[in-house]
Amino acid sequence: MPVSVRNPYAELLQLPPCVFKPRRTNAHYLAYIEAITFYHQLQRGLKTDERTGTLYIETTIEDIKEANKLLSEILLRKSDELTGGCRGYLEQLKALLQRLEQTTFTNKDVRTHLRLPGTTVRRYNHELLQNGYIKLQEKDKHQGYIYEIASYEEYQQLQKSVTNVLNEVLIRLQTGEPPMSQTTTGSTKPKPDKKKDSASQ
């Protein structure tokens, strides 16, 4: 008989609001938690649904904590409006300017130090300029366009905001807010109130 996974915390989980495509990402997030729960099934033991006789294993807060740790980098990338290539370029550019102790740069500077084709540099700089990650400082007749980084801390701030939301949800779960019950089919319903049930009998 197949064993299902039930996540009693599913309705209380929350993705960072900065995540793009949250519905699809949330589905992947829940599926990942389910996989971690299933991986630990031998340590947990099976439970039986008293009404249906269905065998299941139940997600714990530790499973969610492990999923958050493993998925934090993925959630960060899904919260970043830049493409992966452009983000890598920007972080390299920040490191380069700090190493050279410069505040401005030109396309030629980047081509020389990062050894990138001119078309790649122009494409990435255009994307960064359009999204406000770099600013056009001036246009020099000899050097061409001169740019500067808008913020050196923006990626760390984004990372912190993602981590904070995940941690806040875990704290809320650990303080005992009433969980919801969810089967692997995705249907959700509140856990029955045992005191209320016994009082009505």
Q: In which residue are the tokens 């020099």 written?
A: 140
Residue 183: HSE in the Cβ half-sphere, 13 Å Cα cutoff:
9
Q: Give the single-character DSSP code of 3.
A: P
Q: Give the single-character DSSP code of 7.
A: -
Q: Output the pLDDT for position 177.
A: 59
- Sequence-distant (6+) residues with CB within 8 A of 79 are 16, 18, 19, 20, 158, 161, 162
Q: 198: which 2 tokens?
A: 């016994």
Helix H segments across the chain?
A: 22-39, 41-44, 61-78, 84-100, 107-114, 118-130, 154-174, 194-200
User: For every one of its 201 residues, what pLDDT tens digit does the chain have, with 9 covering 90 and above?
Assistant: 567 899 999 999 999 999 999 999 999 999 999 999 999 888 888 888 888 888 899 999 999 999 999 999 999 999 999 999 999 999 999 999 999 999 999 999 999 999 999 999 999 999 999 999 999 998 877 778 999 999 999 999 999 999 999 999 999 999 875 444 443 333 333 344 443 444 434
What domains, with CATH codes, occur in the chain? 4-80+156-188 (no CATH), 84-154 (1.10.10.10)
Euclidean distance between CA atoms 34 and 114, whole angstroms: 42
Q: Output the pLDDT for position 141.
A: 72
One-letter identity of residue 101 = E
